[in-house]
Amino acid sequence: MKKVLITEFMEQESVDKISELFDVNYDPSLHEKLEILSSQIVDVDAVIVRNKTQLNEELLTQAKNLCFVGRLGVGLDNINTDFCSSNNIKVQPATGMNADSVAEYVISCALSLLKNIPISHNGTIIGNWPRTTIESRELGGKTLGLLGFGVIGKKVCRLAQVFGAKVIAYDPFVPDSDAKKYNVSLVSQNDIFVNSDVISIHLPLTDETKDLINKSSFSLMKRAPIVINSSRGSIVNEKDLLKAYSDNLIKGFALDVYSSEPVNENFYKQVNGSMNCILTPHTSGVTVESNIRVSQFIADKTIQFLGN
């Protein structure tokens, strides 16, 4: 019987579905036990992970029978995809399965930060009643700039347009037909920085995108936008982000991802209740509904692949 190793949380119903056909070892905390993980991955045919399990070359080399990696999510930066490709190991992300969750997160952050809700909330609970000192703006009529126009970017676009926002996007891999279908103008990266009231990042982490949003990028942001990153933390230079906020180059920011996770202590010590910001612990794509969709999708793909 073929063996499947699941190293992080997966909906139990989906685990049970795979277990009906294959020998499954499910330990949602296995990613924290590297020695045990190294010994258990040796003879498995498939491994299913989220983003905490680091499938590097050293670990993958030990997996002599491995032919399938299921990713309970979208980003692949914790998986050595070059090694997998060279060794005929199929890597299957759950593309699109958490897109609704992330898109809702982006829009909710945009609405909250445009209305300065973090500052309003913190001022109110300490008794300041900042009713006349807080500037509040609407999403309608604003320009939303999307860095990346894949599945999630398109979901964000549709939601923003419901509020009456204009959407522009940068994505060199998107055809003009997609732009026309979604009533979006495809522009350059710099155009996003210069012309957006809200900027939302939907890019993979690569050598080209690391520190893409930096001091130089912020200097181009003439409209003092809101910046939202629900993609990968290292795309935004966090030091430059905080400096841009203190220099009023941006009016607020929301981060769901960070250059190191859990978030670096030096970073959150610089954030305080007087700032128009939202910090969340990499949960933008994690809802009850998305967990079910992601788990069911990867379960089906695992069964399909190993069954052939």
What is the per-residue pLDDT across 150-168, written as a single tens digit (0 to 9) for each?
Answer: 999 999 999 999 999 999 9
CATH of the domain at 111: 3.40.50.720
Catalytic residue among 261, 265, 289, 293: 261
Domain co-membership, 137 together with 191: yes
Catalytic residue among 50, 202, 223, 282: 282
Domain co-membership, 125 together with 151: yes
Contact 105, 156 (CB under 8 A): no
| Domain boundaries, position 89 | 3-95+288-307
What is the per-residue pLDDT across 96-151, written as a single tens digit (0 to 9) for each?
Answer: 999 999 999 999 999 999 999 999 999 999 999 999 999 999 999 999 999 999 99
What is the per-residue pLDDT across 239-285, written as a single tens digit (0 to 9) for each?
Answer: 999 999 999 999 999 999 999 988 888 887 899 878 999 999 999 99
232 counts as catalytic:
yes
What total number of domains does the chain contain? 2
Give yes or no for a cis peptide into 172 (omega within 30° of 0). Answer: no
Q: pLDDT band for 177, please (50, 70, 90 cuts).
A: very high
Q: Which residues have a Cβ under 8 Å from the Cβ of 235 and sit 6 or more positions away?
A: 201, 203, 205, 209, 210, 211, 212, 213, 229
Q: How high does pLDDT run on average in the chain? A: 96
261 counts as catalytic:
yes
Domain co-membership, 179 together with 215: yes
Share of the chain above pLDDT 90, in %: 93
Domain co-membership, 83 together with 118: no
Domain co-membership, 132 together with 213: yes
What confidence score (pLDDT) does residue 264 get?
Answer: 82
What confidence score (pLDDT) does residue 272 get?
Answer: 83
Domain co-membership, 140 together with 23: no
What is the per-residue pLDDT across 178-219, written as a single tens digit (0 to 9) for each?
Answer: 999 999 999 999 999 999 999 999 999 999 999 999 999 999
Share of the chain above pLDDT 70, in %: 100
Q: Which residues have a Cβ under 8 Å from the Cβ of 211 and sit 6 or more positions away?
A: 234, 235, 236, 237
282 counts as catalytic:
yes
Catalytic residue among 31, 202, 232, 293: 232
